[in-house]
Amino acid sequence: MKKVITYGTFDLLHRGHINILKRAKALGDYLVVGISTDEFNELKGKSSYYTYEERKLVLEAIRYVDEVIPENNWEQKKQDISDHNINVFVMGDDWEGEFDVLKQLCEVKYLPRTEGISTTQIKLDLKDVK
Residues belonging to the active site = 44, 46
CA distances from 98 to 67, 109, 110, 115 (A): 24, 11, 10, 21
3-state secondary structure of 108: strand
Among the listed residues 24, 36, 35, the one whose alpha carbon sits nearest the alpha carbon of residue 86:
24
